[in-house]
Structure 1
Amino acid sequence: MAQDVLESPLVLLDEVRAGLQGGTMVPYLGPGISALREQEAPMAPEALADFFASKTTLPKRARGNPWAAAQYIESYRFRDTVTLWMQEAFAAPVPPSPFHLWLAGLSLPLIVDTWYAGEMRAALAGQSDWAEVQGITRAGIGEDRWFRFYDEEGTSIDADQAAKARTLLYTPHGCIVPEANFLISDADYVEVLTEIDIQTPIPEEVRQRRTGMSFVFLGCHFHDQLLRTYARQVMKRSSDHHYIVVDPETLTRNERRFLDEQGIIAIDMPLAEAIERLLT
């Protein structure tokens, strides 16, 4: 990665813009994009953990970790409380940014949104011919499936209907809309991670659309093993050439190793500046 960092950020951003406009690149969005503007909803994993801590006293091991915090709440106050508090955390609608709206207008084959607030779905609401697939918890639903498909109106559809859509929005961790599906507790992820290596929890249509594509990571951090594992599996069988907008000086050793392993080129530029340049 060290040599890649030396490449001009502007040249790399031009490559990203061309890839997005040409439909050969998959945007992989994290909460950092929305965190650039003031929001009522928590727009980082640590902020969500702080929200849980404002609702109940958490043990030391769960502080600052939303997945452990949700597991503690689920164990002592039941799953309904986790869902209720997640709905409360994301009750205030988060409007899509100009960047979300720009992406929505590109008619991309696949967009990945890894946060719960629903901005990308809101941006796509002004477009036609798109569908969404969300990761879901299997806690208490009595169903042997890992995800649900929705149309533009938020109505549940089947995989064949979703496959016909020009754009597929993939929200692997769930979303506040349309039905408040959340993968959040450790138990949720234990189930997924037991099978994610064989790709069962990854929708087949996502697997098809990612093939040979490059990914660009925006507003994402990979300082937690869970986040790295998910990204690694979503990227499987895609291109070997990807990008991330990040300050290399902020990367942990594990993040650096992850970027190297996955062929992810770091674009050394503040996120807000990078997004502004992509839009111009």
Structure 2
Amino acid sequence: MSDLIADIARQLDAGRVIPYLGPGMLALCAGDPVPATPQALVAVMTAKVSVPHKIRQRLTQAAQYIENFKHRKSVVQIMDGAFAAVPEPSPLHRALAASAAPLWVDTWYDDTLLAALRQARPQGGWRQVQGLSQSEHFGQWTASYDADDQPTDAPLADAVPLLYRPLGGRSPAGNYLVSDSDHVEVLTEIDIQTPIPAVVQERRKGRHFLFLGCRFDDQLTRSFARQIMKRSSDTHWAVLPDAPTRMEARFLEEQGIARLPLSLAAFADGLTQALAPA
């Protein structure tokens, strides 16, 4: 396994690997806690607003109920509060931010990787693009920001790395895809790639994805991963210490994703060391 980790590190250094981060990455972080699972996030929501018992543990449905019976602003305010703290980036976050990856995909709402990029690249020279809710930005699928959090539509040079946050994020503008309607709008179009920025479609070509802190045990996470990695290489890796569910195992096989049966902490130590400057 150490040889494989070293090979992944070499390919990251060569710009051939795209890190794809899920909420499980927060387990590596110290500092103020933020919700690190959909279950934890929906608990925050339902502590703020009463929702019917049958959906109290269902994040997208609870968010939709709040949006319908309170206001979309209520959902945004709850999300802003839940992710106001920024955990201290782990050594793996910082190593990935400093790597030669042309693209990072971050599929949770916290700003940890964003903070790592600011630490690793204080001079800037990178950009982020976030998915947008159609209930707030009808007809506009994404928003792009420079390293100073300023909106920008300027063309992205090939040498400028990109942070892609398909579900949005806390900073800089509180963009969130979290309710049922948010996801339905995106999933209706995602098969034809409309919500996925052209630069992401271009940069994934021929590259390998490295899935960290992700599970694929629900249809939503599988759908996003499948469409984001479309037309990439046929070799990918996912750190999954626990035995996959039947549907996860089928997804991994279909997508050419090799399961690495290590704890995330053990893999993080190995990859961080392999990426360290000589």
Q: TM-score, normalised by structure 1?
A: 0.92
Matches within 5 A, 1:174-253: 174-249=168-243, 251-253=244-246
Find the residue that maps to 1:125 and give its secondary structure.
Answer: helix
Are 2:7 and 1:11 aligned? Answer: no
Q: CA deviation at 1:97?
A: 1.5
Aligned to 1:135: 131
The letter of the residue matching 2:152 is I
RMSD of aligned Cα (Å):
1.5
Structure 2 CA distance for partners of 1:19 and 1:107, relative to 1, 3 Å? closer
Moved more, 240-249 or 148-157: 240-249
Q: CA deviation at 1:124?
A: 1.2
Aligned to 1:4: none
1:87 to 54, 62, 80: 80
Q: CA deviation at 1:125?
A: 1.3
CA distance in 1, matches of 2:150, 2:47: 34
Aligned length, in residue pairs? 269
The letter of the residue matching 2:164 is Y
Structure 2 CA distance for partners of 1:13 and 1:192, relative to 1, 3 Å? same
CA distance in 2, matches of 1:122, 1:229: 27
Q: CA deviation at 1:23?
A: 1.0
Find the residue that maps to 1:198 and give its secondary structure.
Answer: coil
Find the residue that maps to 1:32 and give its secondary structure.
Answer: helix
Q: CA deviation at 1:240?
A: 0.8
Post-superposition CA distance 1:52-76 (Å, at most 9, x none): 1222233244232211111111111
Q: State the percentage of identical aligned residues.
A: 45
Contact residue 104 and residue 124 of structure 1 kept, 8 A: yes
Q: Which runs of 5+ in 1 are unaligned?
A: 1-8
The letter of the residue matching 2:161 is T
Aligned to 1:144: 139
Structure 2 CA distance for partners of 1:165 and 1:120, relative to 1, 3 Å? farther
Matches within 5 A, 1:262-277: 262-277=255-270
Contact residue 28 and residue 90 of structure 2 kept, 8 A: no
Q: TM-score, normalised by structure 2?
A: 0.92
The letter of the residue matching 1:200 is T
Post-superposition CA distance 1:68-121 (Å, at most 9, x none): 111111111110100010011011122222111111111321111111111111
Post-superposition CA distance 1:234-273 (Å, at most 9, x none): 0000001100001242x21111111011000000111101
The letter of the residue matching 1:124 is L
Matches within 5 A, 1:78-117: 78-117=71-110
Aligned to 2:251: 258
Find the residue that maps to 2:238 and give its secondary structure.
Answer: strand
Find the residue that maps to 1:194 and give its secondary structure.
Answer: helix
Q: Which runs of 5+ in 2 are unaligned?
A: 274-278
Post-superposition CA distance 1:28-51 (Å, at most 9, x none): 011111123354210111111111
